[in-house]
Chain A
Amino acid sequence: MTQVILFNVLNGLIVGAFYALMALGLSLILNLSGVINFAHGGFLALGAYLAYSMAPYIGFWGGLVFAPFVTAALGIIVEHVLIRRLYGRDPLYSLLLTFGLAYIFQDGLRYTWGAQSVPYQIPGWLASPLSASLFFLTGYRVFMVIIVALAVAALFLILGYTRLGIRIRAGTLDLDTVSVLGVNVRVLRNLNFGLGIYLAGLAGVLAAGLLGLSPTIGDQLIMPSFVAIIVGGLGSLPGTLAGGLLIGVAAGLTAVFFPAAQEAVIYVMMALVLLIRPNGLFGDAGRVQ
């Protein structure tokens, strides 16, 4: 029994890392711009499809490297044309806008690549268990964790040591002062959005290795990301990371004891965390909005 629990906790951590990747992108955008990006799943799917289309020319690795950048570029365009107009308004409006975008994405993807799932391939040596004794881990899952770890590390490095990153962090705390200090806030928000979408695109490419690639691939993944942010606490990126891992493990453990509730458990967790610790586990204290 303990073996089964261990396996599921490990796999839960892996899946949780993936949720964290998606949630970090969402969190970045939410923290600085106050935008609840319901179209995040659409960007994820786009990243995956782009990697699929690029694969015949530049292979799996080329797709992994370039697809997220192309997705981020599209994100930057969308931010510039549409989302920019909604800053300063009730976050409800950006929610509606991104909701509408999500619809457009789904149809757009369906029109371009068809409604049927397309066969995305990962390199053969990744698509098998690590070894006979480590049969509960596949090469691809370990690979996923490595990529997520690299991305998260890069993200925290950017935020901690580059000018852009420091400005983003400052902007999350007090955007007006940052603006007064001479930073071009528009460009800052734009680049921040692009960064968040890059993470979504990357998550998409990774997801396509594990799941069937169809226009609705992002839909299943967006709610757990929101839950991760809430559980970890709004405004805290380490919190989001922890939140993602936590719900991944919770789902994994639930799968052992009460498999049918795998999906519902994350909502129960969210409700519990909010009732006991209203601002999430690592969130900023006492915000009456």
Chain B
Amino acid sequence: MKSLQDRTGPILLWLLLFTAPFWMPYVGGYTGLGTRVLVLALAAMAVNFLLGFTGVLSFGHAAYFGLGAYGAGMAIKYIYPSSSLGILVGVLAGTIGAMIIGAMIVRLRGVYFAMVTIAFGQVFYFVAFRWVSVTGGDDGLTGWKRVPLDFGFTNFDILHNDVAFYYLCLICLAISAAAMALLLRSPFGHSLLAIRENERRAWFLGIPVNRHIWMSFVISGFFASLAGVLYAYLDNFVDPRAFHWQQSGDFVIMAVLGGMRSFWGPLIGAAVFVVLQDKISSHTDYWMSILGLFFVLAVVFFPRGVLGMIKRRQES
């Protein structure tokens, strides 16, 4: 059991997140920025479930992210304007996608696995781009909005109230994080760690390695698609770039920057990435080189990410 001291980090973190809409404007932020951090953090944590905890690198998780986003948008636009329906359809689409593709590629490893995930992501990108009548093509899926949630006794207006939407995303992130943590603590989760550490040994121990990798892939696809739904809701817009390998790359970068081996690392990484990009690009045209320099320095000097660095300091 973790002592209260060990827990201060996450407790402080959640306190900050919970009160963010109130203190953000004072540091030059805005609620929308915070929401964006939450959504991308969820996606990065989903990717990290596979990367940091199972040891499998996917460079194409934007496929499920995109399926979630388009699923939600298209549900609201074509079926019925309801945010809950959107979430259901989006998550279903992304998870089924992960199940099918995962089953096809689970035999591959290493760079091959990573590249084939890129391939599938690009196929989705191409379809979204070309199927203009359904997806809006390059112009994106427009003409729809996230719908206020009506619980009968109360109306949660996530459309016009930015703060309300922020809290919705926070709730989703909290539930997802709790679910992922529970899974990782279970025997299943331990088998994933075993696979990460030494796949051959795990095999010899009787762990059905391929099946567990597939399950981890599907779980991570599930959460990635939820992130995609929220992302579509954030802008009331989704375009094919949600499927692009560069989007996948962003998730991987966030996970590594924050610290792949730690649970909250991707959240920190997402916060750093989003805030840096937002702030630096406002001040200079050459923000790409500054961001690039940051990656380079981070990788060379802080390879275990922000949290890895903090942990090391704690241990010494």
Contacts and interface: CB of A to CB of B under 8 A. Distances in A.
A271 B109 contact: no
B109 A264 contact: no
B23 to A, nearest CB: 31
Contact of A107 (B108, B116, B292, B300): B292
B16 to A, nearest CB: 27
Interface residues of B, number: 38
Main secondary structure of the interface of A (DSSP, over half): helix
B297 to A, nearest CB: 8
A6 interface: no
B205 interface: no
A29 interface: no
B249 interface: yes
B299 A100 contact: yes
Interface stretch (A45-53, A89-97, A138-146): A89-97
A93 B107 CA distance: 24
B116 A270 contact: yes
Interface residues of A, number: 43
A134 interface: no
Interface stretch (B27-35, B88-96, B122-130): B122-130
Contacts of A82: 296, 300
A42 to B, nearest CB: 10
How would you classify the secondary structure of chain B's contact residues: helix, strand, loop or mixed?
A: helix
Contacts of A234: 111-112
Nearest to A97: B299
A96 B295 contact: yes
B294 interface: yes
A9 interface: no
A106 B130 CA distance: 29
Interface string B251-274: 011001000000000000000000
Interface of A: 36, 82, 85-86, 89, 91-93, 96-97, 99-108, 110-111, 223, 226-227, 230, 234, 260-261, 263-264, 267-268, 270-271, 274-275, 278-280, 287-289
